[in-house]
Amino acid sequence: MNPTVMNQTTAIKQESGLSFFMSELIGAKIMLNEKKIGHLRDLIIKENGAVPHVTHLYISLPFGMSAVVPWEKIGSILVKEKKITVVAEDISPYKGEPEENAVMLKDHIIDKKAIDLKGRDLEIIYDVKLRIRDGMLYVTDVDLSRYGLLRRIHLTMLANFIYNLARNIQDQTVSWKYIQPLPERIGRFQGDIKLNVLKEKLSDMHPVDLADILEEMEPNQRVEIFEKLDPEQASDTLEEIDPEAQRDLVESLKIEKVAVLVDEMTTGQAADFLSVLSVSEADAILKRLNPENARKIRTIVEHHEENILDFATQDFISFLPDVTVEKAQEQYRYIAKGKDVVMYLYILDNDKHLTGVLDIKELLTAEEHAFLKDVMIRNVITLAHDSTLRKASEFFTRYNFRALPITDTDNKIMGVVTYRDIMGLRHRYIE
């Protein structure tokens, strides 16, 4: 072996442990036989297991040409001098563009958004930290800090200065181990999107947070994420998202799938959601719902008269007055499944007359052998069947209940409206 080559390979090995940011290296001079032949444009990595390593260097040559040089042909990397030496007879065998599915650090990773599930926020990857070890170049961390940005725009000195001033900011670099690439199918966006999800799982997130994050994403990424959610979470998230994103999502999802999600909503929420869609989409979804619900939703969507009963749900928990607390506690968990209102037990007689109400807390703390009629609250705050939405909202603000029962003149229960359906939707409170 040529002694100079020998020296150069050891140069890399000697620098083992050296770590630096990619931005410090991009644009470095590429030397071949002591002559400058071009600049470093990008690094191509291969992901295998935990830490990916650099397999090729993507080099721009003069006259718009480019070359892809394998890592084995690299003699030395001098970060400070911004100089990379290639060990080869000639550059011509390596001329060309990277393969279609090659993952390029600068092009595909930098400036991409990553969901930080701890901060429940979208972060931007400003830089990547590299480390030379055992003659290989590994990608170890990503930099989410703004200082990564400073460094990128060639203010390295300033960036380093700030780093030293505030060392605690440094923990904004995140180890690559925690970067999870999205599923393979992301590749169908021609490889130019590499969205990364940090550590935890999406399904653990609260729908409101998830909605915020989805709103900030590109439409196609949004769909990818959305399709990973289970129906209940998807339904809640869909409802929380802003109208424009809602329309986008519905356009790219299958209408059957959306109908399933809408079916999980209460009538008020469904109407709120459908009213921002185009009429043809809303119709297609309504046709797939159960006719009674569809009728109520239609009434809300098409008319300004907002009858409180259209917002009411029948999925509440009712017990007879003569049931014991123990029995009610036992049955609660089975009965509560799939109900819209689970925090209150409504105590009804055989003819559905509302005799009292019981908070779930009170049920759990009540004496086991007592009858429900003895522990329930008899003086129930109710809405009349002809109450307006405004009235309901006044009641909710005044009493802070999470649901209110609606009764007819005979005190028979007609349904229950939830706080969320009245206070959380885009009502206009005309009367």
In whole angstroms, the minimum distance from the beta carbon of 117 to another protein comes to: 23
| Candidate list 4, 14, 33, 278; residue touching another protein; CB under 8 A | 278
280 binds another protein (CB under 8 A): yes
Burial of 356 (C-beta count, 10 Å sphere; 0-12/13-18/19+): buried
In whole angstroms, the minimum distance from the beta carbon of 194 to another protein comes to: 17
Closest to another protein by CB, 275 or 307: 275
Say if CB 384 and CB 392 are below 8 A apart.
Answer: no
423 binds another protein (CB under 8 A): no
Inter-CA distances, 364 with 322, 329, 337, 345, Å = 17, 7, 17, 12
| Candidate list 304, 337, 361, 398; residue touching another protein; CB under 8 A | 304
166 binds another protein (CB under 8 A): no
Binding string to another protein for residues 192 to 231, with x set by CB under 8 A, is what?
---------------------------x------------
Q: In angstroms, rounded to a whole number, what is the distance separating the alpha carbons of residues 1 and 365? A: 84
430 binds another protein (CB under 8 A): yes
In whole angstroms, the minimum distance from the beta carbon of 149 to another protein comes to: 16
Token pair belonging to 311: 């917002």
190 binds another protein (CB under 8 A): no
| Candidate list 36, 46, 254, 303; residue touching another protein; CB under 8 A | 303
In whole angstroms, the minimum distance from the beta carbon of 22 to another protein comes to: 18
- Taken in order 72, 73, 78, 79, the sign of the CA dihedral is negative
322 binds another protein (CB under 8 A): no
E strand segments, 135-292 = 136-143, 173-175, 179-181, 196-198
DSSP state for residue 199 in the 8-state scheme: S
Residue with tokens 């990973």: 228
Q: In angstroms, rounded to a whole number, what is the distance separating the alpha carbons of residues 76 and 86? A: 7
124 binds another protein (CB under 8 A): no
431 binds another protein (CB under 8 A): yes
Q: What are the residues whose beta carbons fall under 8 Å from the beta carbon of 303, sequence distance 6 or more?
A: none
Q: Are strands 354-359 and 341-348 parallel, antiparallel or unpaired?
A: antiparallel
Start-to-end CA distance of the chain, whole Å, equals 90
Inter-CA distances, 150 with 143, 144, 261, Å = 12, 12, 44
| Candidate list 99, 283, 292, 330; residue touching another protein; CB under 8 A | 283
239-258 positions binding another protein, by CB under 8 A: 243-244, 247
153 binds another protein (CB under 8 A): no
Task: Supply the Cα-derived Rg of the chain in whole angstroms.
Answer: 31
Closest to another protein by CB, 87 or 309: 309
Closest to another protein by CB, 309 or 328: 309
Binding site for another protein (CB under 8 A): 219, 243-244, 247, 275-280, 283, 301-304, 426, 428, 430-431
